[in-house]
Amino acid sequence: MSGDDETLIILDVLLCAEIFNQNPKLDVNDLTPEHRIMFGLGTASGIKRPITVSESTIRRVLQIQDPRGKVADNPVVIYEEFGQRFRIPALEAAAKWFMGHGGMPHIKKNPALAFYFEQLDSSGVTYQEVKALNPPFEDSRSYLDGKISEIIAADERLRTAMDLIIINAPDEIEQQIDDLVCTSEQRDIIAKMRTAILHREFLLKHRIHEVGKLLFVGPPGTGKTSLALAMSHAMHMPILEVRLSMVTSQYLGETSKNIDRIFELAKKLSPCILFIDEFDYVAKSRVTDDHGAMKRAVNSLLKNIDKMNLVKNGVLLIGATNHPQLLDEAAWRRFDEVVEFSLPSEEMRERILKKVTQSVGCDCDFRYLAAQTDGLSGSDLRMLVKEGILSSIMDGRKALLQSDIEKGIQMVKSRGVIRNLNWL
Phi then psi for residue 243, to 5 deg, are: -105, 125
Per-position pLDDT tens, the chain of length 424 = 455 789 999 999 999 999 999 999 999 999 999 999 888 875 545 678 899 999 999 999 999 999 999 998 899 999 999 889 999 999 999 999 999 999 999 999 999 999 999 988 667 889 999 999 999 999 999 899 989 999 999 999 999 888 889 999 999 999 899 999 999 999 999 999 999 999 999 999 999 888 999 999 999 999 999 999 999 999 999 999 998 777 765 555 677 888 899 999 999 999 999 999 988 876 555 555 556 666 777 788 889 999 998 999 999 999 999 988 888 788 888 899 999 999 999 999 999 999 999 988 888 899 999 999 999 999 999 999 999 999 899 998 888 999 999 999 998 888 766 566 554 4
Does a cis peptide bond (omega within 30 degrees of 0) precede residue 75?
Answer: no
At the top level of CATH, which class does the domain 346-419 belong to? mainly alpha
User: CA 390 to CA 387: how far, in whole Å?
Assistant: 5
Three-class DSSP category at 275: strand
Q: Which CATH superfamily is domain 139-340 in?
A: P-loop containing nucleotide triphosphate hydrolases (3.40.50.300)
Q: Which residues pair with 166 in a beta bridge?
A: 241
- Using CA atoms, how far residue 117 sits from 95, 107, 130, 254, 339, in Å, is 8, 8, 11, 58, 47
Phi then psi for residue 216, to 5 deg, are: -95, 125
From 113, 144, 112, 110, select the one nearest 42 (Cα to Cα). 144
- Domain residue spans of the chain: 3-134, 139-340, 346-419
